[in-house]
Amino acid sequence: MTTTERAMVVHQQEPYNAEPPRSALAESVVTPVGVFYGRNHGTMPRIEPQDWRLQVDGMVDRPLELSLADLKDRFAHREVVATLQCAGNRRAGLMAVRDIPGQHPWGPGATSTARWGGVSLADVLAAAGLQPGATDIAFAAPDVAPEASPPQTYGASISVAKATAGETMLVWEMNGEPLPVAHGGPVRVVVPGHIGARSVKWVERITAQGRPSDNFFQTSAYRLLPADTDLSRTRVGDGFPLTAVALNSDILRPDDHAVLPSGPTRVLGYAYAGDDRGISRVDVSVDGGRSWQQAELEADLGPWAWRFWHATVGLPAGEVTITARAWDTTAALQPEHPESVWNPKGYINNAWPTVTVTACDAVA
């Protein structure tokens, strides 16, 4: 284990749930595999690559059973740089507004970016021959989630439009290496632009159907419930299913609670908006939003990756709160206050991010 991996913030050992600190994410725009966040609802299954099989069935003309060798031989190899972002990322900021019992207090790190290699799901579905009535593509995995009601294996679904759009992939490579078990190896789904929950790991079955998946993680979890929802009275299907990642950003450097010299300080962060939106502008403030400085956007790694940004701000001596805000290409601005986005499951905190630092004058 490297020093950086040891620095992971572990919310739970089994099932394993852990996030990198801001400093580890800030190191590289493509996140090293060893510090990529891990979000699991059950025990990770261990499947030897040669034993892995994928069933493609449901509303298709030609049901398929594919091995990893079949995927490699029959379909064009593709790569996508894509950010995964858990719907619970930044939940701790919502918990500071009002408690959210029974959920992990994810900080800034339930999001990471990798270069994924594999095949386009569109090509596999074309080989199976999607029937006209199919509206949803469901994914099933073998890991059992005890927290589900009733306990069941993990699953999810996406629309046929997203599944056939080209960017949705079946991947077995992560940053050029074989996909580790912890991230879904031998083969997982990557749905760029959608919340991480739809990128099903250890996928073993893909079903074309005329309705969304009836798996717990599609019908009950990963749905946004309005703030006034009484959780003791919710029913299956309540709330809005979460699909595209909302416009979000965070400050990765300096760290929260850092002690720094006053004066010019480089602030670095990311901004990301899911599906067909890009990032158009990021601002940074050191006076609680009274004045703003426009940040410089760093390299564009394509439509499915977050965008790093940086700005050099003047830190006055004392305790300083640094705030950021991002706009996307639809001219949407992040909401200002976590209070306005609080919800009972603590999903999608995309309020303006802040870190508070102490800036000290140099001693002569």
Q: Which residues bind ligand MTE (CB under 6 A)?
A: 36-42, 84, 86, 141, 143, 154, 183-184, 196-197, 199-202
322 and 267 in contact (C-beta within 8 Å)? Answer: yes
Instruction: Output 35 or 357, the one with its CB closest to ligand MTE.
Output: 35
Q: Smallest distance, Å, CB 356 to ligand MTE?
A: 27
Q: Smallest distance, Å, CB 271 to ligand MTE?
A: 19
* Position closest to ligand MTE via CB: 196
Instruction: Output 15 or 335, the one with its CB closest to ligand MTE.
Output: 15
The span from the CA of 49 to the CA of 272, in Å, is: 33
Instruction: Output 95 or 141, the one with its CB closest to ligand MTE.
Output: 141
DSSP letter assigned to residue 34: G
Sheet holding 307-315, edge to edge: 248-253, 263-272, 307-315, 296-297
At 320, which helix (H) or strand (E)? strand 318-328
Residue 271: partners with Cβ closer than 8 Å, 6 or more residues away? 247, 248, 249, 279, 282, 297, 306, 307, 309, 324, 326
Q: Smallest distance, Å, CB 92 to ligand MTE?
A: 16
Task: Tell me: cis bond preceding 344? Omega within 30 of 0 counts.
Answer: no
Instruction: Output 37 or 52, the one with its CB closest to ligand MTE.
Output: 37
Instruction: Output 111 or 265, the one with its CB closest to ligand MTE.
Output: 111
Q: Smallest distance, Å, CB 318 to ligand MTE?
A: 38
Residue 91: partners with Cβ closer than 8 Å, 6 or more residues away? 100, 103, 104, 105, 106, 110, 346, 347, 349
Q: Smallest distance, Å, CB 24 to ligand MTE?
A: 14
Sheet holding 279-285, edge to edge: 259-261, 354-360, 318-328, 279-285, 293-294
Q: Smallest distance, Å, CB 118 to ligand MTE?
A: 14
Instruction: Output 84 or 348, the one with its CB closest to ligand MTE.
Output: 84
Q: Smallest distance, Å, CB 27 to ligand MTE?
A: 17
Task: Tell me: cis bond preceding 150? Omega within 30 of 0 counts.
Answer: yes
Instruction: Output 173 or 310, the one with its CB closest to ligand MTE.
Output: 173
The span from the CA of 171 to the CA of 148, in Å, is: 26
